[in-house]
């Protein structure tokens, strides 16, 4: 049953929300609850007189009160629990607080703290949020989705919990990721929170710790695999198409062997994308574009070493190839500049049983015959750094300290300004730190990380490190895809997003070592990216045939800012709700 609807007064043109709940029910609804901000008229008409303290508070006063409470928490996990409790109590207030202190709270609501929270989610859960689908209830998916109380769902972030950050299979405890991503869609992109739905596909887990934990709240079985798994996914996708045909679906933290299959299988059947593959590829490409501006160089003049050719690594490599093609290279010429490394060393064309996404990025073995190797049986990371003369080193391995001082020093010998991206999350899994890069390259290395790091003192002053956070990309891309009404997301849309993001980095920011803009103006960043994505959709024949100024107007209207609407009591099915 819907709990409210958006209305416009035909006489005054005043926007308001028609509310179908009363009394304690209204106060227990996180989107409708205003707490002390209910005015006197609303308190009377909606039956909450006597359930609230006397004084009315504005949203700004409420934010100040909650920030004081936030600062009183003594650990990041306690702060996470506090913010989730606020989200489950008053969504408008939560987002008002988050936007006011975005840079301070981002590491709490998402990486790295969200990873810590997911590891303990069954133990710290206070209230369930979103939708959990499992093999025992998937047959009732239509009833489940139709019972959602919000007027319209435009965005769905879904995970099956198998590959949560760098932490592995966390089953339904991975729900912290879709919830966190929705938080970022709203805060950064401006999507209305009542249009966003986090979903977990609780298809079991291979994690013995969880299976043996009596407090684990998920479907307590071994994970579905093979045909049974994909049959479950098919039922899920069809349910989404029936109930929310205009919604954008974001695949999040699926295991790589399934993620690529799902992306290919459903890309043309439902408006969707995979943030781990495409979003990570786009944000890394944007940072590389800025690095090229600093180096005054081009992509075709670099050699790229990518360690970890799963979803993120393959996504980054794919985007680099697309950019190299814009500089005139063929597919084969572009691929030859990319050296991919996995657990067995450098990917070569004579390796058996390579995963599908890796085959595009193999090096021809006969071109390596003159390489000097430490052990002829395996081509190691150091072998590749030395022999390829790589100028760009990217890690997505979750192997702490993988980029040793020797590796980084060799990169500094290869290039005066080597580019080092240590992109693994959370912070504890990072391949190296900014301090490591500053030391090995004498402060000349250009770096980005997957998690936030404090500035480091370099030879020429304080150096800042950009966080390659997908939040720069996916909120704007999702918003642009939705307002353009495109039926699918394309690689060109991601390329346009990367170009626009890099163009927003100022000369002053680049002089400080930054490859991406700050988060302070993230709403403007998302607006700019959304517009570029919408224009690309239009120009490619997929989006609405609106001119640039019309997209400006629509986007300004589409971006929601936390505020309390006026409430009026409504009727449902012709009856007054009580």
Structural element, H or E, at residue 392 = strand 392-395
- For every residue of 404-466, DSSP letters joined together read -HHHHHHHHHH-SS-EEEE--SSGGG-SS-HHHHHHHHTT--EEEESS----EEETTEEE--E
- Mark 169-191 as b/e (b = at least 16 C-beta within 10 Å): bbbbbbbbbbbbbbbbbbbbbbb
Q: What is the largest CA-CA distance in the chain?
A: 84
DSSP label of 363 = B
Question: Rounded to whole angstroms, how far apart are CA atoms 128 and 10?
Answer: 38
Helix (H) or strand (E) holding 289: helix 280-295
> What is the pLDDT averaged over residues 196-212?
98
482: closest CA among 445, 549, 529, 420?
Answer: 529
461 backbone φψ class: left, alpha, beta (φ>0; ψ -120 to 50): left
Write the pLDDT tens digit of every residue in 20-77.
Answer: 999 999 999 999 999 999 999 999 999 999 999 999 999 999 999 999 999 999 999 9
Q: What is the pLDDT of residues 421-443, one digit of tens each?
A: 999 977 788 999 999 999 999 99
Catalytically annotated residues: 110, 181
The closest alpha carbon to 404, from 451, 440, 379, belongs to 440
Does residue 246 have a pLDDT over 70? yes
Is residue 451 within 8 A of residue 427, CB to CB? The reply is: yes
Classify 142 as helix, strand or coil. helix
Q: Angle between the 280-295 and 491-503 helix axes, to the nearest 10 degrees?
A: 40
Residue 557: C-alpha distances to residues 188, 387, 564, 566 (Å) = 15, 54, 16, 18
- Torsion (CA) 44, 47, 51, 54 in degrees, nearest 10: -10
pLDDT for 4-21, tens place per residue?
888 998 999 888 999 999
pLDDT at 376: 79
Given a contact cutoff of 8 angstroms between Cβ atoms, the answer to whether 188 and 526 are in contact is: yes
- Rounded to whole angstroms, how far apart are CA atoms 551 and 534? 8
Domains (ranges, CATH) in the chain?
Answer: 105-270 (3.40.50.10380), 278-466 (3.40.50.720), 472-558 (3.40.50.10380)
Region of poorest pLDDT, from 104-108, 205-209, 374-378, 516-520: 374-378
Looking at the predicted structure, is the pLDDT value of residue 114 above 50? yes
What pLDDT, on a 0 to 100 scale, did the predictor assign at position 574? 46
The pLDDT assigned to 426 comes to 73
Mean pLDDT of 154-174: 95
pLDDT tier at 573, thresholds 50, 70, 90: low
State the pLDDT at residue 572.
61
248 DSSP β-pair partners: 155
Alpha helices in 161-279 (DSSP H): 176-184, 208-211, 226-243, 256-266
Return the pLDDT at 577.
46
Whole-angstrom distance, CA of residue 562 vs CA of residue 221? 41
Tokens of 35: 């707490």
User: Is residue 476 classed as helix, strand or coil in its secondary structure?
Assistant: helix
β-sheet with 131-133: strand ranges across: 131-133, 196-201, 155-159, 248-251, 272-274
Strand partners, 249: 156, 272
Quote the mean pLDDT of the chain: 94
> What percentage of the chain exceeds 70 in pLDDT?
99
For 330-338, the CB contacts below 8 A with 24+ separation are: 335/360, 335/361, 336/363, 336/364, 337/300, 337/302, 337/303, 337/304, 338/304, 338/306
> What single string gives the DSSP state of each residue in 148-190?
--SS---EEEEE-SSS-TTS---GGGGGHHHHHHHHHIIIII-
Quote the CA–CA distance of 121 and 213 in Å, as a whole number.
12
Per-residue pLDDT, averaged over 258-281, amounts to: 95
pLDDT on residue 578: 42
Please tell me the distance from the alpha carbon of residue 280 to that of residue 473, in angstroms, as a whole number. 8
Q: Residue 576 has what pLDDT?
A: 46
Confidence of residue 352 (pLDDT cuts 50, 70, 90): confident
pLDDT at 319: 96
Which tens digits make up the pLDDT trace of 463-488? 899 999 999 999 999 999 999 999 99
CB atoms within 10 A of CB 264: 11
Residue 282: pLDDT band by 50, 70, 90 thresholds? very high
């Amino acid at each position: 049953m819907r709990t409210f609807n958006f209305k416009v007064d035909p006489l005054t043109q005043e926007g308001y929300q028609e509310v179908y709940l009363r009394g304690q029910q209204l106060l227990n609804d996180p989107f409708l609850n205003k707490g002390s901000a209910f005015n006197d008229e609303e308190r009377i008409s909606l039956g909450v007189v006597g359930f609230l303290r006397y004084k009315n508070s504005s949203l700004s006063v409420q934010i100040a009160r909650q920030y004081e409470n936030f600062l009183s928490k003594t650990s990041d996990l306690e702060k996470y629990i506090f913010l989730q409790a606020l989200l489950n109590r008053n969504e408008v207030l939560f987002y008002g607080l988050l936007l006011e202190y975005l840079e301070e709270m981002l590491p709490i609501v998402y990486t790295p703290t969200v990873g810590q929270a997911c590891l303990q989610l069954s133990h710290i859960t206070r209230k369930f949020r979103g939708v959990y689908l499992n093999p025992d209830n998937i047959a009732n998916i239509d009833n489940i989705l139709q019972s959602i109380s919000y007027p319209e769902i435009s965005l769905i972030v879904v995970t099956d919990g198998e590959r949560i950050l760098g932490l592995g299979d966390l089953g339904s405890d991975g729900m912290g990721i879709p919830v966190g991503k929705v938080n970022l869609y709203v805060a950064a992109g401006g999507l209305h929170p009542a249009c966003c739905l986090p979903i977990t596909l609780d298809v079991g887990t291979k994690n013995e710790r969880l299976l043996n934990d009596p407090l684990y709240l998920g479907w307590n079985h071994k994970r579905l695999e093979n045909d049974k798994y994909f049959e479950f996914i098919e039922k899920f996708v069809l349910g989404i198409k029936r109930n929310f045909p205009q919604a954008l679906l974001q695949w999040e933290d699926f295991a790589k062997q399934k993620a690529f299959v799902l992306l290919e299988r459903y890309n043309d059947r439902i408006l969707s994308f995979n943030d781990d593959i495409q979003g990570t590829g786009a944000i890394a490409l944007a940072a590389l574009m800025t690095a090229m501006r600093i180096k005054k160089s081009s992509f075709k003049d670099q050699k790229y070493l990518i360690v970890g050719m799963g979803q993120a690594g393959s996504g980054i490599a794919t985007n680099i190839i697309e950019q190299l093609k814009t500089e005139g290279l063929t597919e084969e010429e572009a691929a030859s500049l990319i050296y991919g490394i996995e657990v067995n060393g450098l990917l070569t064309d004579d390796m058996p049983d390579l995963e599908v996404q890796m085959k595009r990025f193999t090096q021809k073995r006969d071109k390596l015959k003159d390489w000097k190797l430490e052990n002829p049986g395996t081509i190691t990371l150091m072998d590749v750094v030395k022999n390829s003369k790589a100028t760009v080193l990217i890690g997505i391995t979750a192997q702490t300290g993988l980029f040793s001082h020797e590796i980084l020093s060799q990169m500094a010998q290869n290039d005066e300004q080597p580019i080092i991206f240590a992109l693994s999350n959370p912070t504890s899994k990072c391949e190296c730190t900014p301090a490591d890069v500053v030391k090995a390259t004498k402060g000349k290395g250009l770096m980005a990380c997957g998690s936030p790091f404090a500035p480091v003192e370099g030879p020429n002053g304080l150096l800042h490190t950009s966080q390659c956070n997908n939040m720069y990309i996916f909120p704007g891309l999702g918003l642009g895809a939705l307002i353009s009404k495109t039926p699918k997301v394309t690689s060109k849309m991601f390329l346009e997003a990367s170009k626009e993001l890099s163009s927003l980095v100022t000369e002053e920011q680049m002089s400080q070592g930054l490859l991406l803009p700050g988060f302070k103006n993230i709403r403007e960043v998302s607006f700019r990216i959304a517009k570029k994505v919408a224009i690309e959709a239009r120009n490619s024949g997929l989006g609405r045939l609106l001119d640039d100024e019309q997209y400006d107007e629509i986007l300004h209207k589409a971006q929601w800012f936390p505020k309390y609407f006026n409430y009026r009591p409504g009727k449902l099915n012709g009856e007054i709700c009580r």
